[in-house]
Amino acid sequence: MTETGALVLFSGGQDSATCLAWALDRFDQVETLGFAYGQRHRVELDCREGLRVGTAALDPRFAARLGPDHTLDLGVLGEVSETALTRDTAIAMGAEGLPNTFVPGRNLVFLTFAAALAYRRGLRHIVAGMCETDYSGYPDCRDDTIKALQVALNLGMDRRFVLETPLMFIDKAETWRMAERIGGAELVELIRTQSHSCYLGDRTQEHDWGHGCGTCPACELRAAGWRRYRGG
Ligand code: ZN
């Protein structure tokens, strides 16, 4: 087990791109993991390599630390859940007060597979971009959920994994500020242009905050965060 090794859950979105830079700034050995689960915004997976290469190019330290990329096929998630993230239906609010983009158990499954991979790769830290602050109410983004899962994974695998969630208590504007602190304006520009957030997978329209349809909840959240970040 490498005490200073980390596995980053790396989807290709703004949050995970920031988490990658955060991890490269901190750990000696950093590997990345992406999931294909039948998401409509599958285009986000295509953004991953450009972000990896671009981030490594910012700092020789980062380049030396960045290790292999892994992708796992979790298409079964799309089979068990009828949600607007994996089906061609309109994004709307459900009766439970959760948007129908919620894929039940998604982060639990992601982190469990991440831990299994980290076990095999001998990496101690698992870095993920879950956030309580503007998380659309997804219960598996809550800090309590992640802490409970850390206990369960360590008991179940007899390891001392640390689940790191550096964005848990900050909003999207502060996430941009974090990127700026770690990698300056160059990293902000890389994430703005290369990362993908739009649930509909639209990369044909460019806005000052990046690419996307501009109207889905993920685009609205990203646009609002960018405005607050630029505003001060
Ligand atoms: Zn969108």
Whole-angstrom distance, CA of residue 214 vs CA of residue 217? 9
Tell me what pLDDT residue 3 has.
80
pLDDT beyond 90 at 51: yes
Extract the tokens encoding 216: 């889905």
The Å distance, Cα 34 to ligand 1 centre, comes to 20
Which CATH number does the domain housing residue 199 bear?
3.40.50.620
The Å distance, Cα 217 to ligand 1 centre, comes to 7
- Residue 92's pLDDT band, with cuts at 50, 70 and 90, is low
If one compares 99 and 195, the residue with the highest pLDDT of the two is 195
Whole-angstrom distance, CA of residue 159 vs CA of residue 197? 33
The Å distance, Cα 166 to ligand 1 centre, comes to 24
User: What total of structural domains would you count in the chain?
Assistant: 1
The answer to whether the predicted template modeling score (pTM) of the entire model surpasses 0.85 is yes
Whole-angstrom distance, CA of residue 130 vs CA of residue 135? 8
What rounded mean pLDDT belongs to the chain?
90
For the segment 94-117, the average pLDDT, to the nearest whole number, is 80
The Å distance, Cα 106 to ligand 1 centre, comes to 20
**Whole domain around residue 7: which residue ranges?**
2-230
The Å distance, Cα 198 to ligand 1 centre, comes to 4
For the segment 139-168, the average pLDDT, to the nearest whole number, is 95
The Å distance, Cα 199 to ligand 1 centre, comes to 5
Whole-angstrom distance, CA of residue 226 vs CA of residue 180? 13
pLDDT beyond 70 at 104: yes
Of 161, 148, 56, which is closest to residue 117 (Cα–Cα)?
Answer: 161
If one compares 104 and 95, the residue with the highest pLDDT of the two is 104
Whole-angstrom distance, CA of residue 148 vs CA of residue 126? 14
The Å distance, Cα 222 to ligand 1 centre, comes to 9
Can you spell out the DSSP letters for 16-66?
A: HHHHHHHHHTT-SEEEEEEEES--TTTHHHHTHHHHHHHHHTT-HHHHHHE
